[in-house]
Chain A
Amino acid sequence: MKRNRIRTAILLAVALCVKGYVMAQHLPDGMQVKARVGYSIGGTTPIPLPATIRSIDAFRLTPSLMVGADAWLPVGRQWGVSAGLRVENKAMDADATVKGYHMEMVQGTTQLEGIFTGQVCQKVKQWMLTVPVQATWQPGRKVTLKAGPYVSLLFSRGFNGIASDGYLRQGDPTGPRVTIGNDKNTRATYDFHGDMRRVQLGVGAGVDWQCWQDFGLSADLNWGLTGIFPGSFKTVEQALYPVYGTVGVFYRIK
């Protein structure tokens, strides 16, 4: 069902671009419209990384795609302002070795909370509609530098993982010790997607380089300022911020 929602959102975004292309012909003079696609890579992570994370052992690519469009209006000779709409996924799939890492599992009416040392496999999925509003500055005819805040509305959330190959001390480091294995019945799984925030805020900065006719390349860095969980959610000890870099191509419709 979630997959359907994502597909619908992407189709909607593409439809909007096409519609935008048609509408763009009637837009006010001076306004520029760009359609863009991109691929993001990054992490949803505590910043800085806590000392409880001892190493990152694997970092797998995820379907962190971005489709969107934005409109730009000049303000003066080199300056301008742009606003856009994006459908994007900020996902993560990474393995880490941890030592003394606080974790909690909840299953029905029972929960197990404690300090874990071992392997953690963490998966994050965040499909969202993002509206960036950015100030732009053009040092030359083909290059646009841009920066500004964004707001995102999540429509598909995922946050789950597996703790394995280690041990848990229930409660605190002196608590009962339970060895954790790595098969279905001996490892610990957790899933907190229902606790994730629906709305995220952040800032982004990037560059557009219109390198061939109406086509161009872009690079952006988006830095989340709100943790992916509300402050009242204490199960995941550190606040996790989505920090993603996006490389993409754009086409100037108008």
Chain B
Amino acid sequence: MIAAILTLCGSMALTSCIKDERANSECDILGAWVEGDAYKQYFTDESQMRPTVLYGSNTVQFTVKTLSSLPAQIPVWFEVTPGATIEPASGTAHDFRRGPVTYTVTSEDGKWSRQYEVCFIGSQLPSFLFKFDHYETVTSITNSEYHSFYEVDDAGTRWDIWASGNMGASITMPAGSGPEKFPTSAMTDGASGTGVRLQTIYGGDLAKMFGKPIAAGSLYLGSFDLNQALLNSLMSTRFGQPIDKDPVKVTGKYKYKPGPEFRDKDYNVVPGRIDEGDIYAVFFKSRDKDGNDFVLTGDNVLTSEYIVKKARVASLPATDEWTPFEMSFNEAEVDYDLLANGGYKMTLVFSSSKEGALFEGAVGSELCVDEVEVTFKDIVTE
């Protein structure tokens, strides 16, 4: 009884001192959309009129049938952090045909702001010969630097179609780490020009504390949602980019070297087990049964009911020479009407440790890839 009274007095004394809530200091775009029947025709599907906006991204990307057919003015609407303001204002019309429009979101307390580029892009991957010659160096908040790959089409437009776990690793890696320390980086001695080096690393003491001791190098067609990296890491890898072609096989060149000691997710050595690299491609439906935009995630990338067909290398024997690999998609029926109307997506995944998503693998495993090409069926249009 006395204890209860004392506790009550203590909490009341403290609670009575609670100050008024301060204005929000965050300034994120939480949602973006185009509305109205007049604009439906420009999108392959209604779900594309409201793309997912990730906290970690500074771009908002609308995928349309063709960029050239867009009207001169399209109003885009935004939902931002409560109390924050956006400039230009939500709902104002702009010309997106000549490239991205920059928006600035300012926090409720007026002290913080974020800039976003809002762009409209055509629905097709620009090229299916990936030479990995385009990358930029991103500087993290702790002054670490890591590489981020992208593609450039013949018109010079940049396509941010590749994703990796580098952003997640940057959170827990020692401050000031260089690109070569990160799981995914560019290598200057590619099979031609630069190539991709994927390495399985020890993620750092913090990462270990979070039960994620290793980070496998990965590169995939899709996006990375940092927000989920800790709570539900399998959901942070979002696989797939829109595609309007029917893939048959994937070829490329690789080098592979397994690390010396395979470790489980508790970072214990598993004697005798040799790490393996992995390369696979998945072709899947871009909408779920409710008609919502769909991406594969780490939990279902090889098992989802929306997968149409997939290709996976049988094995990647260790080699320190650039060695060709080839993998074919299994036969499956593809609806060409749907294909022409944004109904499918494809991902292509490279990983230095097959079980990297489960934080299992050997530190030091290294997979290098370059000159990857996807070939397609010739589609005879009626």
What interface size band does chain B fall in? 35 or more
Q: Are B15 and A112 in contact (CB under 8 A)?
A: no
1/0 per residue, CB under 8 A from A, across B56-98: the answer is 1000000000000000000000000000000000000000000
Q: Which residues of A (156-174) have their CB < 8 Å from a CB of B?
A: 167, 169-174
Q: Evaluate whether A48 and B19 lie within 8 angstroms (CB atoms) in the complex, with A110-B206, A178-B230 already known.
A: yes
Q: How far is the CA of A176 from the CA of B173 in the complex (A)?
A: 14
Chain A residues within an 8 Å CB radius of B141: 170-171, 175-176
Q: Are B205 and A49 in contact (CB under 8 A)?
A: no
Stretch of B2-10, B186-194, B250-258, B310-318 contacting A (4+ beta carbons < 8 Å): B2-10
Q: Are B19 and A177 in contact (CB under 8 A)?
A: no
- Sampled A-B contacts (21; CB under 8 Å): A41-B10, A49-B18, A54-B18, A54-B21, A55-B15, A58-B11, A59-B7, A61-B3, A61-B7, A107-B206, A108-B205, A111-B175, A173-B107, A174-B27, A174-B112, A176-B226, A178-B227, A179-B232, A185-B211, A185-B212, A189-B209
Q: Does A53 count as interface, using CB distance less than 8 angstroms?
A: yes
1/0 per residue, CB under 8 A from B, across A46-57: the answer is 001111111110
Chain B residues within an 8 Å CB radius of A60: 7
The smallest beta-carbon distance between A113 and chain B, in angstroms, is 8
What interface size band does chain A fall in? 35 or more
Q: Are B231 and A51 in contact (CB under 8 A)?
A: no
The smallest beta-carbon distance between B3 and chain A, in angstroms, is 5
Q: How many A-B residue pairs have CB under 8 A?
A: 123
Quick one: which of B3, B26, B142 contacts A173, CB cutoff 8 A?
B26
Q: Which residues of A (134-155) have their CB < 8 Å from a CB of B?
A: none
Q: Which residues of B (171-227) have their CB < 8 Å from a CB of A?
A: 171-175, 204-212, 226-227
Chain A residues within an 8 Å CB radius of B208: 107
Q: Are B206 and A111 in contact (CB under 8 A)?
A: yes
Q: Are B15 and A61 in contact (CB under 8 A)?
A: no
The smallest beta-carbon distance between B106 and chain A, in angstroms, is 11
Q: Are A179 and B228 in contact (CB under 8 A)?
A: yes
The 9 closest A-B pairs by CB, nearest first: A108-B205, A185-B211, A171-B141, A173-B25, A110-B204, A107-B205, A51-B19, A177-B55, A59-B11
1/0 per residue, CB under 8 A from B, across A96-135: the answer is 0001100001011111100100000000000000000000
Please name the residue on chain B nearest to A61 by beta carbon: B3
Q: Does A181 count as interface, using CB distance less than 8 angstroms?
A: yes
Q: How far is the CA of A77 from the CA of B308 in the complex (A)?
A: 98
Beyond the given A179-B230, A186-B231, could you list 4 further A-B residue pairs with CB under 8 A, ordered by the A residue number?
A45-B14, A112-B171, A112-B172, A178-B231
Q: Does B332 count as interface, using CB distance less than 8 angstroms?
A: no
Q: Does A80 count as interface, using CB distance less than 8 angstroms?
A: no
Q: Does B229 count as interface, using CB distance less than 8 angstroms?
A: yes
Q: Does B22 count as interface, using CB distance less than 8 angstroms?
A: yes
Q: Does A69 count as interface, using CB distance less than 8 angstroms?
A: no
Q: Are B10 and A51 in contact (CB under 8 A)?
A: no
Q: Are B210 and A185 in contact (CB under 8 A)?
A: yes
The smallest beta-carbon distance between B45 and chain A, in angstroms, is 28
Q: How far is the CA of A59 from the CA of B205 in the complex (A)?
A: 32
Chain B residues within an 8 Å CB radius of A115: 25
Please name the residue on chain A nearest to B211 by beta carbon: A185
Q: Which residues of A (45-99) have their CB < 8 Å from a CB of B?
A: 45, 48-56, 58-61, 94, 99
Quick one: which of B14, B22, B114, B140 contacts A43, CB cutoff 8 A?
B14
Q: Evaluate whether A174 and B113 lie within 8 angstroms (CB atoms) in the complex, with A43-B14, A179-B231 already known.
A: yes
Chain B residues within an 8 Å CB radius of A105: 206
Q: How far is the CA of A99 from the CA of B227 in the complex (A)?
A: 17
Q: Which residues of B (1-49) have their CB < 8 Å from a CB of A?
A: 3, 6-7, 9-11, 14-15, 17-22, 25-28
